[in-house]
Structure 1
Amino acid sequence: MTSPLIGVAELAAALDSDRPPVLLDIRWALGGPPGAEEYAAGHLPGAHYVDLDHELADPPGPAGRHPLPDPDRLGAALRRAGVTADRPVVAYDAGPALSAARAWWLLRWAGHPDVRVLDGGLAAWRAAGHALTTDTPAPGAGDFKVDPGHLPTVDAGGAAELARTGLLLDARAGERYRGETEPIDPRAGHIPGAASAPTAENLTADGHFLPVPALAARFTALGVTDPARTAVYCGSGVTAAHQLLALALAGHDGIALYPGSWSEWSANPANPVETS
């Protein structure tokens, strides 16, 4: 399997080739600043901005803060960004891939065969001495048609079942898992039986993914053995995709995402909550 990551040098060479990849700028941060403003101030040459809140998710509601997007709306956004079925796609964000991984996961879920994430993101691109631009490309003429369901998901009931009988990984920070703080969702704590696996522990200090052997050792220690009996959740299904990317790097592809995540679970008073 081709690595889901691409380094700066490889991407720079690919952009100079006869068949450059489609570049997607997925900058986003909970609480801002708006990714569109950062994109306008400077982005990788040829990159199209894709809005995580409005194009890579449905509106917030009972299904959580970032429900999976309507396939038609997702397809329209990807075609506007020039995504085609037969051309590679590279997604990037400001650095640690926490939002770019959402695009990576969605494109694979939608059936795209060749999508990768820039390791280290825009920060790594700039650190290597490559230029940014404020030029905005014209809307693309992509032909990609979303065919949802190519990666597995679980609902709240499925997540609870795996927490009891398999392995459910909670990708949020440890203090949120333990219920010491909850900055945005209705209740603090975690799904009973879930294991704490903070996404930040997939990364080096400079925002790159850990080497594959280190990731493999991490997930072995967490008890990952059977992808079919494992799922991942986070606050709203965004950073969980980063965990799934790290798992794929470690050789555990095809693990399920709980899209509603804690934002859906905690909003339902009938769902039990555990703190520890």
Structure 2
Amino acid sequence: MNAIISASELASELTGANPPVLLDVRWQLSLAKASGEPPFDGRAAYEAGHIPGAVYVDLDRELAGAPGPRGRHPLPDLAEFGAAMRRAGVSSGTPVVVYDGGQGWGAARAWWLLHWTGHPNVRVLDGGLPVWAGPLETSAPDPAEGDFEPAPGPTGLLDADGAAALARAGVLLDARAGERYRGEVEPIDPVGGHIPGAVCAPTTENVTADGRFRPAEDLAARFKALGAAEDTQVGVYCGSGVSGAHEVLALAVAGIPAALYVGSWSEWSSDPSRPVAVGPDPQ
């Protein structure tokens, strides 16, 4: 199944016999401490207007655990995650479409969690809310309780040791901006640089200027040039497991399965015993 859906396809499915559950996961990386600006309020954006029928999902509270040694966005408690999805109307037999404000990172985190925990039919609105040409509403729906029970798969998730091993035995992609990979700047985490052996692969290069994914064949060619292909073990990390989920989604569009190191650099760099590489080269 395709991991993304266009706005026109979504509009058609919403009027069909089996309309998808819609999840609004508007979220932005907060640099409030560094910039002095107030953090982005996804709920306020949702209440100002959302696709009719969409339920707001809070990434920081429902798609992640509390920040700590496991990273800034560690895995959520799966019982709590399942309860949040059921409150939103998610059932295993009903398709789900996730969207955000256009960057795609928040929607991809929800997509990855649902996919990894066993939902068989979840897609991301390609381009997010900005590409939606239909009406918006401000009232929140009251969906019937869903029946989704998270059942994590045996693959698709990496811990720190697994990420380090994959950087040696396969391909580990670093989805952050190049300057953070090289260690030139680090606005959030305690140390700059990258996991030794990881390949610089900014997730921003997977999309066009309007935030939509590049064609599948273009993505496949990009990842092949980085060493990732269908017959390669591929993993991804980022700062805290959010933009990395967007790269896993891009890989899925290209037909390449990949695992996500959820703790990512925020977990890796918090332990001074772990090695850190700097500069443009993987090692």
Q: For 2:56 and 2:231, how far apart are their aligned partners in 1?
A: 32
Contact 1:108–1:151 (8 Å) recurs in 2: no
Shift of 1:99: 1.0
Shift of 1:158: 1.2
Q: What per-residue deviation string (whole Å, max 9, x for no partner) do you get for residues 215-243 of structure 1? A: 01100100013566221100001111110
Q: Is structure 2 residue 41 aligned with structure 1 residue 37?
A: no
Q: Is structure 2 residue 163 aligned with structure 1 residue 196?
A: no
Q: Runs of at least 4 residues of structure 1 off by over 6 A?
A: none
Q: For 1:146 and 1:228, how far apart are their aligned partners in 2?
A: 27
**Aligned residue for 1:144?**
148
Secondary structure at the residue paired with 2:222?
helix
| Distance change >3 Å, CA 150–CA 199, structure 1 → 2 | same
Secondary structure at the residue paired with 2:139?
coil
Secondary structure at the residue paired with 1:208?
coil
Q: Give structure 1 stretches of 5+ with no counterpart.
A: none
**Aligned residue for 1:261?**
264
**Aligned residue for 1:242?**
246
Shift of 1:61: 0.8
- What is the number of equivalent residue pairs in this alignment? 271
**Aligned residue for 1:183?**
187
Superposition RMSD on alpha carbons, in Å? Answer: 1.1
Q: Is structure 2 residue 207 aligned with structure 1 residue 208?
A: no
Q: For 2:104 and 2:231, how far apart are their aligned partners in 1?
A: 22
**Aligned residue for 2:169?**
165
Q: Give structure 2 stretches of 5+ with no counterpart.
A: 31-38
Identity of aligned residues (%): 61
Contact 2:171–2:232 (8 Å) recurs in 1: no
- Letter of the 1:26 counterpart: V
Contact 1:111–1:148 (8 Å) recurs in 2: yes
Shift of 1:166: 1.6
Shift of 1:34: 1.3
Q: Is structure 2 residue 100 aligned with structure 1 residue 93?
A: yes
Q: Is structure 2 residue 71 aligned with structure 1 residue 64?
A: yes
TM-score when normalising by structure 1:
0.96
Residues 146-155 or 81-90, more deviating: 146-155
Q: For 2:256 and 2:230, how far apart are their aligned partners in 1?
A: 8
**Aligned residue for 1:46?**
53
